[in-house]
Structure 1
Amino acid sequence: MDTTPAVRLDGVSKQFADSYAVRDVTLDIAAGQFFSLLGPSGCGKTTSLRMIGGFADPTEGAVLLGGEDVTALPPNKRNVNTVFQSYALFDHLSLTDNVAFGLKRKRVPKAEIKQRVGDMLDLVQLGGLAKRKPATLSGGQRQRVALARALVNRPAVLLLDEPLAALDLKLRRQMQVELKQIQREVGITFIFVTHDQDEALTMSDRVAVMNAGHVEQCGTPEDVYEHPASRFVAAFMGTSNLMTGTYRGGEIVLEQGLSLPVGRRDGVAEGSAVSVSIRPEKIWLSDFEPGMSVMRGVIRETVYSGPTTTYLIELAPGVTLSALEQNTARSRMEDRWSGGESVELGWKPEHCLVLS
């Protein structure tokens, strides 16, 4: 079985003047994966994508595609295609001609072009609109055309630079599911750039969380969400209750003086300064189990969001935690807590994450 990565970034850096957009990034991306580069604006994710595509040259390091060093090759010599946020469609051409554009430039036989374009438009559910012009389509349909145009060339790797950013929330969520289904069907390696953690969690096989030009953590969506490697990852991946304190004898003594029991943490030295993270959905407000850490607080705010209700609970002056509960079929409005009420809250020790 060939285990050669579809893409390898080997110690890649990109310097602009006296600052680095990307610094010493090493990543292996397996063939057939849906891989996301995730992070805030300016973290280096788009620059990394551009170096893979050949649109930017690394200052240091190497880019390998299928084991071949392509660092010095221009974009048209690399077996990759890119879908940009703007889609870059030709408005004067039909969908068929938009998708066929690259094949015609490669002088692919007409019969093969017709077959491949028809198959690709069917794949993205636009077969019945082949004669339409892009200007007559919705945002989601235009995104599908751009995807079909890139995939019809059968690249080994497809690069996607925030292609869903211009869509409204409902359509974006729909397209997330469709994009993942298409990727599984064609089996091509997708590298997806996004600043939206929900997008990355929904679609990815693996995620690299980037910050200030380097990779903070790389792993499965579950790994980076449930076991963040740093305070930055814990804060960026969804919502987290983050606090700072000192580790002493199985407890975190917060700066405000409150102690949170967390149990022994291997590798955390006694007396060391740490951050602690507890996800809101990991906090229980009733039906506690043996061994849970249970404390008392006061409800300061209740936020109803349809499927869920979030409670802001003050444990002590300056220490407020967010707790999230699902609004299930058994939930009743009158059972929700109100501001000013005293409540108990608890969590399992393994859900209180200590971060150096």
Structure 2
Amino acid sequence: MTPTTAPSAAPEAVPAVRLDHVGKEFNGSHAVHDLCLDIAPGEFFSLLGPSGCGKTTTLRMIGGFADPTEGAVLLSGEDVTSLPPNKRNVNTVFQSYALFDHLSVADNIAFGLKRKGVPKAEIRERVGAMVDLVQLGGMAERKPRTLSGGQRQRVALARALVNRPAVLLLDEPLAALDLKLRRQMQVELKQIQREVGITFVFVTHDQDEALTMSDRVAVMNGGRVEQCGTPEDVYERPESRFVAAFMGTSNLVGGVFRDGAVHLDGGPALPVGPRPGIAEGSAVDVSIRPEKIWLSDFEPGMPVVNGVIRETVYSGPTTTYLIELAPGVTVAALEQNTARARMEDRWAGGETVELAYDPEHALVLSH
């Protein structure tokens, strides 16, 4: 009987971008340390972090605008570390947009194609498709100075996409827009990325922006990646105190881990459930998101602790309560203002309340 052979596994896709132990040093100081990242083809990948964390320097190294001090940059498996920007199959959208005000919208979009010597008929076809894609129909002959900020952003995006790069680099392109327009453009930009199927590498300091748009997020701090994962991973399961604090709002409370709880100094013990690898008696931080705390309608089995309302903050859709658990230890609890919620039912300062939470949402972070 002829032995059967197990089918071979499908070959793993070559990363669109690979950073192989990349570092960058300026005047003896490391802006980026030993960075290793793989970004998949067609992925919307965000580099997120505060100013000075190394995210823009990382983007510039991918684009060829900065040379790594160490390591290698690979695009679709090709080592491009020593290649200049014009020799890499990438395009960049900058925060300033960098449009030519003396050229029309159509000529701005066509600029790179003309420099490459693309035939005129093909240029017209590709520019027309881009104008439609970014919803600028009827504006092709207008000058950029006559456009709104959101429209100028769309022109810059179309000019980059028309060249059909393998990777599009975006350096905080929405930062100059007002809040309402920025949120609208976040949705539109993600829709465009899905439609064109190009790998996007997006730099931002805005946590909501990264959570809204990304397939994966690398949270950077001090030139290093503190955590890389899906938006849900980095928000719901932070691996460090920095990530827990930087990603949205989190209650970070210090204490001692003992018998499955974090014991606060002069306050209650907060049950946290099993935490493998955390030694008994360790000094730790516990992180609980404000929206994970319940102030009413507790589910059976939830641990309950007492606190005193110190502040009530009404924000339209939500109300946030600042609750003192012990001297110097205050946590925030967030409640939705639903159709059934009444103003007179809100707690006032000085009232004693019970708060509860699922222990699985109390994350223990080692010092």
TM-score w.r.t. length of structure 2: 0.96
CA distance in 2, matches of 1:125, 1:333: 43
What do residues 123-166 of structure 1 show as CA deviations (whole Å, max 9, x unaligned)? 00002100000000000000000000000000000000000000
Pick aligned residue for 1:254 from 264, 286, 298:
264
What do residues 301-324 of structure 1 show as CA deviations (whole Å, max 9, x unaligned)? 111111111000111111111000
1:143 is aligned to 153
1:184 partnered with 2:179 = no
Q: CA deviation at 1:256?
A: 4.1
Q: CA RMSD in A?
A: 0.8
CA distance in 2, matches of 1:20, 1:256: 42
What amino acid does structure 2 have at the position aligned with 1:66?
A: S
Identity %: 83
CA distance in 2, matches of 1:256, 1:202: 39
1:339 partnered with 2:355 = no
2:63 is aligned to 53
1:301 partnered with 2:311 = yes
CA distance in 1, matches of 2:126, 2:265: 63
Pick aligned residue for 2:112 from 102, 109, 115:
102
| Range with bigger deviation, 17-26 or 330-339 | 330-339
1:235 partnered with 2:222 = no
Q: Contact (CA 8 Å) 1:256, 1:319: kept in 2 or not?
A: no
What amino acid does structure 1 have at the position aligned with 2:67?
A: D
Q: CA deviation at 1:262?
A: 1.4
Q: Contact (CA 8 Å) 2:268, 2:305: kept in 1 or not?
A: no
CA distance in 1, matches of 2:307, 2:258: 23
Q: CA deviation at 1:220?
A: 0.1
What amino acid does structure 2 have at the position aligned with 1:195?
A: H
What do residues 103-131 of structure 1 show as CA deviations (whole Å, max 9, x unaligned)? 00000000000000000010000021000
CA distance in 1, matches of 2:204, 2:266: 36
1:350 is aligned to 360
What amino acid does structure 2 have at the position aligned with 1:300?
A: R
CA distance in 1, matches of 2:17, 2:26: 24
> Secondary structure at the residue paired with 2:262?
strand
Q: CA deviation at 1:337?
A: 1.0
CA distance in 2, matches of 1:14, 1:2: 29
Structure 2: unaligned runs, 5 residues or longer = 1-10
What amino acid does structure 1 have at the position aligned with 2:139?
A: L
CA distance in 1, matches of 2:321, 2:228: 31
1:124 partnered with 2:137 = no
CA distance in 2, matches of 1:276, 1:315: 14
What amino acid does structure 2 have at the position aligned with 1:80?
A: V
Equivalenced residue count is 356
1:15 partnered with 2:25 = yes
1:263 partnered with 2:273 = yes
CA distance in 2, matches of 1:258, 1:284: 17
Q: CA deviation at 1:286?
A: 0.7
Equivalent residues in 2 for 1:143-182 (5 A)? 143-182=153-192
1:44 is aligned to 54
Q: Contact (CA 8 Å) 1:249, 1:264: kept in 2 or not?
A: no
2:7 is aligned to none
2:34 is aligned to 24
Q: Contact (CA 8 Å) 2:253, 2:287: kept in 1 or not?
A: yes
Pick aligned residue for 1:93 from 103, 107, 111:
103
Q: CA deviation at 1:340?
A: 1.2
> Secondary structure at the residue paired with 2:278?
coil
CA distance in 1, matches of 2:175, 2:266: 40
Structure 1: unaligned runs, 5 residues or longer = none
What do residues 240-272 of structure 1 show as CA deviations (whole Å, max 9, x unaligned)? 000111111111122445421212211111111
> Secondary structure at the residue paired with 1:277?
strand
What do residues 5-44 of structure 1 show as CA deviations (whole Å, max 9, x unaligned)? 0000000000011110000010000000000000000000
What do residues 288-347 of structure 1 show as CA deviations (whole Å, max 9, x unaligned)? 112211011111111111111100011111111100011111111111111111111000
Pick aligned residue for 2:335 from 309, 314, 325:
325
What amino acid does structure 2 have at the position aligned with 1:333?
A: M
> Secondary structure at the residue paired with 2:96?
coil
Q: CA deviation at 1:183?
A: 0.2
TM-score w.r.t. length of structure 1: 0.99
Pick aligned residue for 1:114 from 124, 133, 142:
124
What amino acid does structure 2 have at the position aligned with 1:64?
A: L
CA distance in 2, matches of 1:262, 1:190: 38
